[in-house]
Amino acid sequence: MEKRAEKLIAGLEERLRFFSQIGIDFVSMSNSKDISFHSLEERVLKCQECELSQGRTNAVPGEGSLKTELMFVGEAPGRDEDIQGRPFVGRAGQLLTKIIGAMEFDRKDVYITNVVKCRPPDNRNPHKEEIETCKNYLLEQIDMIKPRAIVALGKVAADFFIHSSQGMTALRGNFHKFQDVQVMPTFHPSYLIRNEGNKSIKKMVWEDMKKVMAFLGKK
C-alpha cells in the first residue's frame, strides 16, 4: 500500500513539475484526476512486476470515460488487444461493444478494462499470482473512477470481486457488493461466441444487463 502511494505521488510530482516548467501553476481538481489516472496508465504500460510483461507487445491499461457510472471488467487482453494496446477490440470486444450499445451507452462513455493488464501466453487463464500482482492497478482504477456499477465479464472477473465457490450460472443475475460498488457478474462475450446457437445464454446476459440499466436509472 505504501509503495503504491509513493509511486502515485512520484508520478504526480513529475507531472506538476512539468506543468510548472511550462508556466502552468494551477491545476483544477478535475485535471488532477486525469493526471493521476494518466500516471497510473503509464505505470501499467511500463510494468514488469510479473512474467506476463516479458511476452507482451503492449500492456493494456483500459479505456473509456473516467466520469462514468459503469465499468466493464474482463479477464485479460487477448491477441488483438495485445497488438493494439486497447481492451476488447477483437471478436469478443465487438460483441461487447454491441451489448454496450444495446444498453444505450456509448463505448466511450463507460470504462472498459481487465483484471490482468498483459496477455497470458496462448490466452490461458491468468494465474493466481499474476492476478495478485496486478490487482492494485484495477483497485486504483475503481478507486479513481468510483463507478456505481461494475459488470464482471466471466468467471475470472467475477472471482476478483466475489469470494464464492459458486459457478457463473449461480452467481449471475444478482448484484454483489464490492466496497461501495454493485457488481453484476455475467457470462464473458467469448463464451457467448463459443455458444453462438444457444439463445438461453444470450437471454441471461441481456437480463443481467437490463438489471444494470434499471439500477443506473436507464428505463
At 186 the three-state DSSP class reads strand
Buried b (16+ CB within 10 A) or exposed e, 14-40: ebeeeeeeeeeeeeeeeeeeebbbebb
- Contact by Cβ (8 Å): 44, 117: yes
Nine cell digits for residue 88: 476488447
Contacts with ligand URA in 5-44 (CB under 6 A)? none
**Least distance to ligand URA from the beta carbon of 117, Å?**
10
Which residue lies nearer to ligand URA by CB, 35 or 183?
183
Which residue lies nearer to ligand URA by CB, 35 or 60?
60
Contacts with ligand URA in 150-209 (CB under 6 A)? 190
Q: Which of 201, 161, 206 is nearest to 181 (CA)?
A: 161
Q: Looking up cell 511500463, which residue turns up?
A: 46
Which residue lies nearer to ligand URA by CB, 69 or 75?
75
Contacts with ligand URA in 111-130 (CB under 6 A)? 114
Contacts with ligand URA in 49-78 (CB under 6 A)? 74-78
Beta bridge partners of 114: 74
**Least distance to ligand URA from the beta carbon of 93, Å?**
6
At 35 the three-state DSSP class reads helix
Contacts of range 129-135, beta carbons closer than 8 Å, 24 or more positions apart: 129/50, 130/50, 130/51, 130/52, 131/156, 131/160, 133/49, 133/50, 134/47, 134/49, 134/50, 135/160
> Per CB under 6 A, does 88 bind ligand URA?
yes
**Least distance to ligand URA from the beta carbon of 61, Å?**
11
**Least distance to ligand URA from the beta carbon of 160, Å?**
12
**Least distance to ligand URA from the beta carbon of 88, Å?**
4
Distance of CA 17 to the CA centre of its chain: 30
Binding-site member from 11, 61, 64, 87 for ligand URA (CB under 6 A) = 87
Which residue lies nearer to ligand URA by CB, 91 or 177?
91
Which residue lies nearer to ligand URA by CB, 11 or 87?
87
Which residue lies nearer to ligand URA by CB, 35 or 47?
47
Interacting residue ranges for ligand URA, rule: CB under 6 A: 74-78, 81, 87-88, 90, 92-93, 114, 190
